[in-house]
């Protein structure tokens, strides 16, 4: 797992620390590491602001300290020159021929260049998208699914063993209402199951409040929770049909998972009771005997720093009638994810996926399997669940599970919609805007673009590229924005071949492939010092940064770091391609530039794969 910039950073850290020792300036390697930054091109390849921190301790000007450090540094390794700039920055200039050689060899030595060892083989569990089994995915669900899938890919690339998990709430009110519709209105499924049942749910929701309907729905809900009856069996059967239809959508988007956890099976294993008993024994929750919450089991959060701004932070986990709240169920599930609660689930194969892997499901009859028991848990859940997710983490800490609390990540995201369109399952505003329809429209749009641009292609190749580009456009447009910001999906942005989009990056990859296709095989005796123009240097440095970007993206659970990086890389490659001819260049330049093209192509491909996007060889 080679990381060229990590090697360069370590080189600079040792030079600074060595100089400080000579000058009797007290500084740690960690402090120097944190002081490093990537400067503008005219100010070198790496810069350090350590002099500003040292100036506070030494009561001297940052510039004078920087001058002293520079004066006692003897450039070595990758560092060729050190200069002082501004009020006291130390700017380091690389021996760029050596740095380019180190970078290109690192890429050419590994198809998986960019992999890092952040996870060190530990297990990460990522829960997504957890859509109720009574509707199709609409544009509002896509953000969850795409964030979950991408962060799973990134964590895997960063050295984690990743378990992709889908939680299925088959006991909630929405499912009971859909069951009422199936039993009272129509049981003749027409078309794709999730679309059919979703439309019927809209009709049932309109009838809520009609005489007898709500009572009948509550009775169905009770039967579902009790289990082992005809209604619960029918509910599971219908739920499984809906989930299988939802996966047809997932597979179109290159999304695959490992296991389904059904809420009905959580109830069956008595997991909730075990969790509540543990919370009470450890003092993280109490059973109230008086007041508004009398008879309820409550998480006591008053006095905890994270909830100081709330007037009534305490959270009910179990109501006085014995039914659990969502948060009560969630803490039980979180304890299971970390292996704190024993694994009582049985598992069986739910389906074989197009990628060749089995998708497993909890089941009454099955076998024990090693799901759960993770080191890191990432819950991909909307921003509206910020408070309940904070409660989960706080309860883990109150129970003494500090490490697990620190390894609980709420990957929170804002909503997504089309211009002037918001989405509600109950009101049916998603109809006409499902993920299936979005994919179909994207592929059709891309077919038109490809037909106009690439007339020499065969129909089969056009079809494959249209799907890769259409789906890639959707995925990238959802992933390029920080999760905390709302998304308004616009076709003209997502499928723009010349903007900050997947087609733009995919086209850069295809252009690199075309250059390589027209060139002879790998060259020997390459002189990398030839790569000394600004555009060549910029491209080399971006290629070298890829492992660092992967590490940061995995650490922060932010796929948009990868998206931003790929836009920068594709833009730098476009400038390089314009100013630095490859195939027509003299032999020395051609060899070095061709090696850089090969490396850029590999990094573009690896980066796109982390976002779940295909990298066509031709476009």
CATH at residue 16:
3.30.1360.70
Looking at residue 433, its pLDDT comes to 77
Q: What percent of the chain has pLDDT over 90?
A: 79
Looking at residue 591, its pLDDT comes to 94
Question: Is pLDDT of 465 > 70?
Answer: yes
Q: Rounded mean pLDDT of 237-255?
A: 97
Residue 602 lies in a domain: yes
Question: Is pLDDT of 432 > 70?
Answer: no
Looking at residue 405, its pLDDT comes to 97
Within 62-112, where are the H helices? 62-71, 96-108
How confident is the model over 221-230, as pLDDT tens digits? 999 988 899 9
Looking at residue 551, its pLDDT comes to 98
Q: How confident is the model at residue 490 (pLDDT cuts 50, 70, 90)?
A: confident
Same domain, 261 and 369: yes
Same domain, 70 and 212: no
448 within 8 A of 599, measured Cβ to Cβ? no
Same domain, 385 and 470: no
Same domain, 484 and 512: yes
Phi, then psi, of 360 in degrees rounded to 5: -95, 160
Residue 584 lies in a domain: yes
Q: Rounded mean pLDDT of 306-326?
A: 87
Per mean pLDDT, which of 108-122, 210-224, 317-331 is the most reliable? Answer: 108-122
Q: Rounded mean pLDDT of 2-25?
A: 96
Same domain, 348 and 235: yes
Cα–Cα distance measured from residue 115 to residue 158, given in angstroms and rounded to the nearest whole number: 6
Question: Is pLDDT of 346 > 70?
Answer: yes
Q: Rounded mean pLDDT of 4-12?
A: 96
How confident is the model over 376-385, as pLDDT tens digits? 999 999 999 9
Same domain, 606 and 465: yes
Same domain, 145 and 251: yes
The residue segments making up the domain with residue 8 are 4-94
How far from each other are the two terminal CA atoms of the chain, in whole angstroms?
31
Which DSSP helix (H) or strand (E) runs through 410? strand 408-413
Looking at residue 429, its pLDDT comes to 55
Q: How confident is the model at residue 32 (pLDDT cuts 50, 70, 90)?
A: very high
- All residues at 6 or more sequence positions from 539 whose CB lies less than 8 Å from its CB, including other chains: 569, 572, 573, 576, 596, 600
Residue after which a domain boundary falls, among 71, 94, 117: 94
Closest by Cα among 477, 393, 357, 371 to 127: 371
How confident is the model over 157-197, as pLDDT tens digits? 999 999 999 999 999 889 999 999 999 999 999 999 999 99
| β-bridge partners, 257 | none
Mean residue pLDDT of the chain comes to 93
Q: What is the pTM of this model?
A: 0.93
Q: Which of 160-174, 210-224, 419-433 has the lowest mean pLDDT?
A: 419-433
Question: Is pLDDT of 308 > 90?
Answer: no
Looking at residue 491, its pLDDT comes to 81
Same domain, 153 and 23: no
Residue 605's domain is classified under what CATH number?
A: 1.10.730.10
**Total domains, the chain:** 3
Same domain, 211 and 297: yes
- All residues at 6 or more sequence positions from 586 whose CB lies less than 8 Å from its CB, including other chains: none
């Amino acid at each position: 797992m080679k990381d060229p910039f990590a090697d360069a950073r370590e080189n600079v850290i040792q030079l600074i620390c060595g100089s400080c020792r000579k000058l009797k300036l007290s500084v740690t390697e960690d402090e120097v590491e944190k002081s490093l930054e990537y400067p503008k091109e005219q100010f070198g390849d790496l810069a350090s602001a350590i002099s500003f921190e040292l100036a506070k301790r030494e009561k001297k000007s940052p510039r004078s300290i920087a001058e002293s450090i520079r004066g006692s540094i003897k450039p070595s390794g990758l560092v060729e020159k050190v200069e002082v700039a501004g009020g006291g920055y130390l700017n380091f200039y690389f021996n760029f021929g050596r740095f380019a050689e180190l970078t290109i060899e690192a890429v050419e030595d590994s198809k998986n260049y960019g992999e890092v060892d952040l996870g060190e083989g530990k297990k990460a569990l990522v829960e997504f998208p957890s859509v109720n089994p009574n509707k199709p995915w609409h544009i509002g669900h896509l953000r969850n699914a795409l964030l979950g899938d991408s962060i799973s890919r990134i964590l895997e690339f960063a050295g984690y063993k990743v378990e992709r998990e889908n939680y299925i709430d088959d006991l909630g009110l929405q499912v009971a209402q859909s069951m009422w519709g199936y039993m009272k209105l129509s049981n003749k499924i027409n078309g794709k199951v999730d679309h059919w049942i979703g439309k019927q749910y809209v009709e049932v929701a309109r009838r809520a409040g009609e005489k007898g309907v709500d009572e009948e729905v509550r009775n169905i809900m009770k039967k579902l929770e009790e289990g082992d009856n005809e209604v619960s069996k029918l509910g599971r059967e219908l739920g499984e049909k809906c989930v299988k239809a939802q996966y047809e959508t997932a597979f179109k988007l290159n999304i695959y998972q490992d296991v389904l956890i059904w809420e009905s099976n959580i109830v069956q294993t008595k997991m909730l009771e075990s969790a509540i008993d543990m919370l009470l024994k450890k003092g993280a929750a109490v059973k109230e005997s008086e007041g508004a919450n009398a008879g309820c089991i409550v998480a006591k959060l008053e006095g905890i720093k994270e909830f100081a701004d709330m007037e009534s932070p305490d959270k009910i986990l179990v109501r006085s009638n014995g039914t659990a709240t969502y948060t009560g169920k969630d803490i039980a599930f979180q304890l299971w994810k970390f292996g704190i609660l024993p694994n009582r689930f049985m598992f069986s194969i739910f389906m074989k996926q197009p990628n060749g892997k089995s998708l497993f499901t909890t089941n009454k009859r099955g076998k024990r399997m090693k799901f759960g028991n993770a080191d890191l848990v990432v819950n991909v859940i909307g921003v509206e669940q910020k408070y309940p997710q904070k409660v989960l983490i706080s309860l883990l800490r109150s129970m003494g599970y500090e490490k697990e609390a620190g390894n609980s990540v709420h990957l929170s995201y804002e909503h997504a919609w089309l211009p002037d369109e918001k989405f509600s399952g109950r009101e049916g505003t998603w109809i006409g805007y499902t993920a299936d329809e979005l994919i179909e429209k994207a592929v059709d749009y891309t077919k038109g673009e490809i037909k106009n641009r690439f007339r020499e292609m065969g129909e089969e190749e056009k079809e494959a590229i249209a799907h890769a580009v259409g789906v890639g456009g959707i995925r990238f447009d959802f992933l390029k924005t920080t999760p905390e910001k709302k998304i308004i999906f616009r076709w003209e942005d997502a499928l723009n071949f010349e903007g900050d989009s997947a087609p733009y990056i995919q086209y850069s990859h295809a252009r690199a492939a075309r250059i390589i296709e027209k060139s002879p095989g790998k060259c020997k005796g390459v002189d990398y010092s030839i790569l000394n123009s600004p555009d060549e240097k910029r491209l080399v440095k971006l290629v070298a940064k890829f492992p660092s970007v992967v590490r940061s993206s995995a650490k922060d659970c932010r796929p948009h770091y990868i998206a931003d990086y790929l836009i920068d890389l594709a833009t730098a490659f476009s400038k390089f391609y314009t100013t630095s001819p490859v195939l027509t260049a003299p032999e020395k330049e051609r060899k070095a530039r061709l090696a850089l093209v090969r490396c850029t192509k590999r990094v573009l491909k690896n980066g796109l794969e982390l976002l779940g996007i295909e990298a066509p060889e031709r476009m």
